[in-house]
Amino acid sequence: MRIAVIGGGPGGLYAAALLKRLDPGREITVWERNAPDVTFGFGVVLSDETLGGIEHADPVVYAALQEEFVRWDDIDVVHRGRTLRSGGHGFAALSRRRLLAVLQDRCRRLGVDLRFGTDAPPGLSDAYDLVIAADGVNSLTRDLAFRPAETTHRCRYIWLSAPFAFDAFRFEIAETEHGVMQLHGYPYAAPSAGDSGASTVIVEMHEDVWRRAGLDTADEQESIDACGKYFTDALRGRPLTGNRSQWLLFRTITNARWAHGNTVLLGDAAHTAHFSVGSGTKLAVEDALALAACIEEQPTVPEALAAYEAERKPVVESTQRAARASLQWFEELGRYTDQPPRQFAFNLLTRSRRVTHDNLRLRDPDFTAAVEREAGVPEGTPPMFTPFRLGGLTLRNRVVCSPMDMYSAVDGNPGDFHLVHLGARALGGAGLVMTEMVCVSAAGRITPGCTGLYADEHEAGWRRVTDFVHAQAPGAAIGIQLGHSGRKGSTKLMWEGIDEPLPDGNWPVVAPSPLPYRQGVNQTPHSLHPTEMAAIKQDFAAAAERAARAGFDLLELHCAHGYLLSSFLSPLTNRRTDAYGGSLAARLRYPLEVFDAIRDVWPADRPLTVRISATDWADGGTTAADAVEIARAFTEHGAAGIDVSTGQVVAEERPAYGRSYQTPYADRIRNELGVPVIAVGAISSWDDVNSLILAGRTDLCALARPHLYDPNWTLHAAAEQGYTGPGAPWPLPYQAGSRQPPTGRTDAPKPRLTL
């Protein structure tokens, strides 16, 4: 096999070395446009997991690297004169030049042809059996065939070096007259006789701060001097040095496909992940390991490249999601600087969701306990089981059973199904159990199976549910969500075809503007006249009065997911030219009028909340900044809290799905406005709930699918954490089940059958 490698960085060199070691008969040539010792960074961080893979794949390389590594376990967070240290993290780093030298030496000894200072010639894919494009973020090999996408982010950063070794990974925050700046520092060369070692120093700040500081016009030395001034304590008065260092904007690179023909992408050519979650070198080395293994295991190059992409792409995408969360946290760093010191440090450490409350408690129990004490969490109590006061209602814990449409009503009537469904979740320990969207009129239903609250029999049916919850699950609160389907109404039950029109028996749908949810599929709605809007507003008020009489503890107004009030808020669905369309303030007018009408009839001692879609996930739609203003307006009108969801407003949306993917929107509203929020969106573990609460990113967590999987999710979360306090009381008839039952005999000790 003849193999061409484009790019002589760590990924390309390691791939070449592995492939040559596995089969010395392979002819492998590496082209690198720079000289052997030219590099643009200083230190490289590798994880223990990656090092284990290197040790197994090539013990010679591992042994050479072992002599170079600096290892440390601690992370220091320095903010407002305080240094908080968390241990148990485990890092290893070395000089990038030394890493390159080790890999170059290994390649030469194995017989790889290294051609430095030479651009790769054209036509390699015709002349070679395999072409590995490891030519970095600015890859010249990557073209439209790989369907690349690039996102440029909002922070500027510069790579520098300090002439001493930090004794921990250091995050330091500088609050300057220009704005907030941050330093990321770590050692990459250990101190030795007559040498203080060396550290990588990355200085990062929002582009607006960078411009205000005048760094947009600074040359390399002026930038180095400025960074030294901003972080004098961290640098101990010692000078920084650069290496053709310049201020960069981080770019996230993705490719829909990593292979085309016999050419495959590796490392930064295929993907990038922000440096705050780990090293691009680490990902490139792992790519090389996987690619070499797949070529060894598969009978043909196409099969090997397909296996490589199938193996690595999900891993990298997971890392990129974590990196996106981390870089967004740093972009919005100023939002958190007023947090209590330990909460700030905990928030920083858990920003990417890779490190969680439970994980950090195992790494450094003393640090985590100190964070909990500072937050007022009683000893032995997981953060999720601390009480929370929402308006006049005190919830026993921070878990909300999220509204979930059940499509099981008859003529709007809640029946036995709803009694059992909601009653079971209340018995299961959630602090607040929410109904599905309850419709304020027959024409406001989504489907014929949706519940309502527009008739006396509906009120009686809901009273039956609330009475059960209050009598049989004391301490649990139950809330109702009121809404109107708008243009998304008159559709089939979810399992018959979500958002598809009924085959017959359709009713007319309404909206702020005559825009169907899906052109050619859904009905074109009737554009509401102000007199019709006034009538619907009265429907909401009448339903709220019924909800109060029915005994609900909380009422939530549904202004999300593209239903009627949501479609007034979004510029994609509201094209009105009257007083209810145009600017955000005008688009808010009708939802606020409805909210005020409900507030006037809803008991003052019971909280009134609002669910919003904080982004439409579509160009030209509601943005995160809009969501802050929407939340501000509802709060000023008396909302006790904001339930922050996203999307489902337009059919062409493109959500960035992932674990806890909607929580940054709740985080922003909470920390910019200081209002209580409910976070939703793929929060699935009690560890996530504890992490989000303790970091101050939300006040309550709403979970939907986990409560479908397990009605007793909250009680089981308490049992799994060994918690037996008042935040999760087991109903008396269930107390015998409050401990996990023993497993079957497969866990029994095995007899020893050999000497």
Q: Which of 547, 425, 413, 433 is nearest to 482 (CA)?
A: 547
* Residue 110 burial (CB count, 10 A): 18
Q: Which two tokens stand for residue 159?
A: 């790579």
Q: How far apart are CA 246 and CA 117, in angstroms?
A: 23
Per-residue three-class SS string for 148-188: EEEEEEEEEEEEEEECCCCCCEEEEEEEECCEEEEEEEEEE
Spatial neighbors of 81 by CB under 8 A, at least 6 apart, are: none
* Element holding 32 (H helix, E strand): strand 27-32
- Burial class of 503 by CB neighbour count within 10 A (0 to 12, 13 to 18, 19+): exposed
Among residues 336, 407, 563, 661, the one annotated as catalytic is: 563
Residue 709 is among the residues annotated as catalytic for this protein: no
Which amino acid is residue 170, in one-letter code? Answer: R
Q: How far, in Å, are 235, 513, 535, 569, 712 from residue 531 at the CA level?
A: 68, 15, 6, 19, 46
Whether the Cβ atoms of residue 677 and residue 666 lie closer than 8 Å to each other: yes
- Burial class of 157 by CB neighbour count within 10 A (0 to 12, 13 to 18, 19+): buried
Which amino acid is residue 671, in one-letter code? Answer: N
DSSP 524: P
DSSP 267: G
Q: How far apart are CA 130 and CA 30, in angstroms?
A: 12
Spatial neighbors of 57 by CB under 8 A, at least 6 apart, are: 18, 289, 292
Q: How many helices (H) and strands (E) does the chain have?
A: 24, 28
Q: How far apart are CA 263 and CA 193, in angstroms?
A: 48
Q: Which two tokens stand for residue 477?
A: 């609160």
Whether the Cβ atoms of residue 113 and residue 29 lie closer than 8 Å to each other: yes
DSSP 527: E
Residue with tokens 């390691």, as numbered in its chain = 14
Q: Which two tokens stand for residue 281?
A: 């070198």
Q: Which two tokens stand for residue 70?
A: 């600096």
Q: How far apart are CA 419 and CA 472, in angstroms?
A: 12
Q: How far apart are CA 489 and CA 510, in angstroms?
A: 9
Q: How far apart are CA 181 and CA 202, in angstroms?
A: 11
Q: Which two tokens stand for residue 122?
A: 């054209």
Which amino acid is residue 19, in one-letter code? Answer: L
Q: Which residues are catalytic?
A: 563
